Amino acid sequence: MVEGFQNHGEISLAHYGVLFLDELPEFNKKVIESLRGPLEDKTVTISRLNMAVTYPCKFVLLASMNPCPCGFYGSDTQKCNCTKEQIRKYLSKISGPLLDRIDLQIEVSRVPYQKLDSNKKEETSEEIRKRVNKARRIQLERYKGQEIFSNSELPPALIEKYCKLDSKSKKILEDAFEKLGLSARAYGRILKVARTIADLDNSRDIKTQHLAEAIQYRSLDRKYFEN
Amino acid sequence: MTKITIEDKEYPKQLKEIKNPPKQLYLEGNTELLKQNIISIVGSRNCTQNGEKLAKKFASELTMQKITIASGMAKGIDSAAHIGTMEAGGKTIAVLGNGFNHIFPKENIELYKEIIRKGGLIVSEYPPDTEAKSNLFLERNRIVSGLSIGVLVVEAAHRSGTSVTAKLAESQRRKVFVLPHEIDDKYGVGTNNLIKKGAILITSTKDIIDNFKSLKYIEFKEASTVNIDKNIKNKIQEQKINKTLEVRLTNKIEKEVYMLIKNGNKEVNEIAKKSNKSISEITNALLMLELDGAIKKIAGGYKCI
């Protein structure tokens, strides 16, 4: 995925785009881990014997995976045939530090046929696009003259300025860190996500529900092994 | 830690009867357990989820029947048996194939501590500094079955260590109970073979108890001590829930979400759909409930504690 000098790897090809990795645990562990640096620095450096090249790579990482090798762990309708060891091995392909860098982790269960068929009105992509664009405009306005464009780019110094929490939210965040065992890296990232959720909600301040939702998106860190 | 030898009167009688009893035993924890009726639950380390569930089920049900559960504290079925016993409020015996200073597997160090904390007992015939070795585990198995009046085999693959334990148990004239499996189930080849060789096929805890003349099955429905215990347990649990409901669940959405999870709706979308609330309202409530210790994240969703 990192590739050589002449040939850009997928990481740098995804610059200003989306890098989608389907079935993440099926990738080689080394390849998965090579994502860590670029995700943090937004650049990828390829070092060879006598030279090193750095390419830019601002990309959105999107990945999907099954809960276990057979895919049915945690399902109500299908029986999972994997052993605990197999599940552990499968999930351990995604290291804690990498998971830390993934802001939104969502578990999706099987969709029964009736639901596929249902004609209940859902928000259309067009409507969602409007919402997202609006949130982006709010961010562009807010960060005018700061050399950044979006919440995800906020450096630590500015996080404090723009992601202020009231005392109730602070307490919740504190509790969450203690009880859910979140990492220090997750801290800033949760605040940025909460900021974005607040923007989508057209809210000037980050409210408790925005923070709670942001914390809920970090769900993979803390389950699966106990049942 | 105490050390007893075969001459000591604390040395378990039933263990003396076997062909090559250990000359000494190192004990840590509640030595009284050795005087109880012990049934051991054994099975593959590399077990299925279902096997684990069954090991827990039988461990907890046998605990309710006043049986002490012993196992080998290995991964898989062994661990599930210990955990199931403790979850039912029982005390369990773990027989190690190594010294106390070299707990194996390493991930079970917590389990080891928990067993002692919960009033259980750890047994080993080896001095504390003995490291784990595969042949010692096979020798350990003779103590597991030797301490017991019967052995329950939950899962065993073809030619597995578990099958060896069962064979040992048979030669020690212990009763060997086996859960039946599908004929093409590779986790059941060993157990099915045991049945072919004359082990006792069982499908319920009552089947096990009925095989011992000295034991009587305690009905759960009738008024009995166990039933009362269970009632008390339920009550305490209810009080706990009520307390959380009272203290924390003043919020209407949280209460609704909690009740939905309690009724078996574990998945976020399901909860949102049934309560007709937005996902953000639901996630908010879920986090509060989780921080409160009222619910817990599991694979595929949430469950009540």
Alpha-carbon distance A132 to A135, whole Å? 5
Predicted local distance difference test score (pLDDT) of residue B283? 84
Q: Point out the residue among B47, B288, B299 whose CB comes nearest to the CB of A67.
A: B299
The answer to whether A31 contacts chain B (CB < 8 Å) is no
Give me the percent of chain B exceeding a pLDDT of 90. Answer: 49
List residues bridging with B183 in a β-sheet. Answer: none
CA distances from A195 to A59, A134, B48, B250 (A): 20, 14, 43, 28
R_g (Cα) of chain B, nearest Å: 22
Confidence category of residue A226, pLDDT binned at 50, 70, 90: very low
Please give the model's pTM, rounded to 2 decimal places. Answer: 0.58
Judge whether A197 and A217 are in contact, CB under 8 Å.
Answer: no
- On the question of pLDDT at A52 being above 90, the answer is no
Taking an 8 Å cut-off on Cβ atoms, the answer to whether B299 and A81 are in contact is no
Alpha-carbon distance B295 to B276, whole Å? 20
Judge whether A97 and A161 are in contact, CB under 8 Å.
Answer: no
- On the question of pLDDT at A225 being above 50, the answer is no
Taking an 8 Å cut-off on Cβ atoms, the answer to whether A208 and B283 are in contact is no
pLDDT digits over A180-214, tens only? 878 778 888 999 999 999 999 999 999 988 998 89
pLDDT digits over B211-266, tens only? 999 989 888 653 344 444 555 555 555 555 555 555 556 678 888 888 888 877 77
- On the question of pLDDT at A69 being above 80, the answer is yes
The first and second tokens of residue A81, run together, are: 């045939």
Determine if residue B204 is left, alpha or beta; phi over 0 gives left, psi from -120 to 50 gives alpha, anything else beta: beta
The answer to whether A223 contacts chain B (CB < 8 Å) is yes
- Domain B225-304: CATH architecture, name and number where available: Orthogonal Bundle (1.10)
Alpha-carbon distance A10 to A57, whole Å? 9
For Cα atoms B172, B176, B178, give the angle at the middle one, nearest 5 degrees: 160
| Most confidently predicted of B145-154, B233-242, B264-273 | B145-154
Chain A residue at shortest CA distance from B298? A223
Among A181-185, A194-198, B25-29, B135-139, the minimum mean pLDDT is found in: A181-185
Chain B residue at shortest CA distance from A82? B48
Predicted local distance difference test score (pLDDT) of residue A82? 83
Predicted local distance difference test score (pLDDT) of residue B191? 92
> Is the CATH number of domain B2-210 3.40.50.450?
yes
CA distances from A159 to A183, A200, B32, B82 (A): 17, 18, 59, 47
Alpha-carbon distance B89 to B86, whole Å? 5
Cβ-based contacts under 8 A for chains A and B: 78
Q: Where in chain B is the domain with CATH 3.40.50.450?
A: 2-210
Q: Where in chain B is the domain with CATH 1.10.10.10?
A: 225-304
| Most confidently predicted of A63-67, A87-91, A94-98 | A63-67
- On the question of pLDDT at A119 being above 70, the answer is no
Chain A residue at shortest CA distance from B305? A227
- On the question of pLDDT at B7 being above 60, the answer is yes
Predicted local distance difference test score (pLDDT) of residue B225? 43
What's the ipTM?
0.76
- On the question of pLDDT at A81 being above 90, the answer is no
Give residue B170's identity as a one-letter amino acid code. E
Of A227 and B134, more confident: B134
List residues bridging with B200 in a β-sheet. Answer: B177
Predicted local distance difference test score (pLDDT) of residue A107? 83
pLDDT (average), residues A161-175: 89
Average pLDDT over chain A, rounded to whole? 84
Confidence category of residue B120, pLDDT binned at 50, 70, 90: very high
Of B12 and B239, more confident: B12
The three state secondary structure string of A183-208 is CHHHHHHHHHHHHHHHHHCCCCCCCH
pLDDT (average), residues B96-119: 91
Residues 226-285 of B with CB under 8 A from A: 266-269, 280-281, 283-284
The answer to whether A27 contacts chain B (CB < 8 Å) is no
Predicted local distance difference test score (pLDDT) of residue B74? 92
Predicted local distance difference test score (pLDDT) of residue A194? 94
Judge whether B135 and B98 are in contact, CB under 8 Å.
Answer: no
Taking an 8 Å cut-off on Cβ atoms, the answer to whether A107 and B287 are in contact is no
| Most confidently predicted of A76-80, B78-82, B219-223 | B78-82
| Burial degree of B118 (CB within 10 A; 0-12, 13-18, 19+) | middle
Predicted local distance difference test score (pLDDT) of residue B222? 39
pLDDT digits over B57-74, tens only? 999 999 999 999 999 999
Taking an 8 Å cut-off on Cβ atoms, the answer to whether B299 and A82 are in contact is no
Contacts of A197 in chain B (CB under 8 A): 280
Confidence category of residue B208, pLDDT binned at 50, 70, 90: very high
Give me the percent of chain A exceeding a pLDDT of 90. Answer: 26
Average pLDDT over chain B, rounded to whole? 86
Confidence category of residue A118, pLDDT binned at 50, 70, 90: low
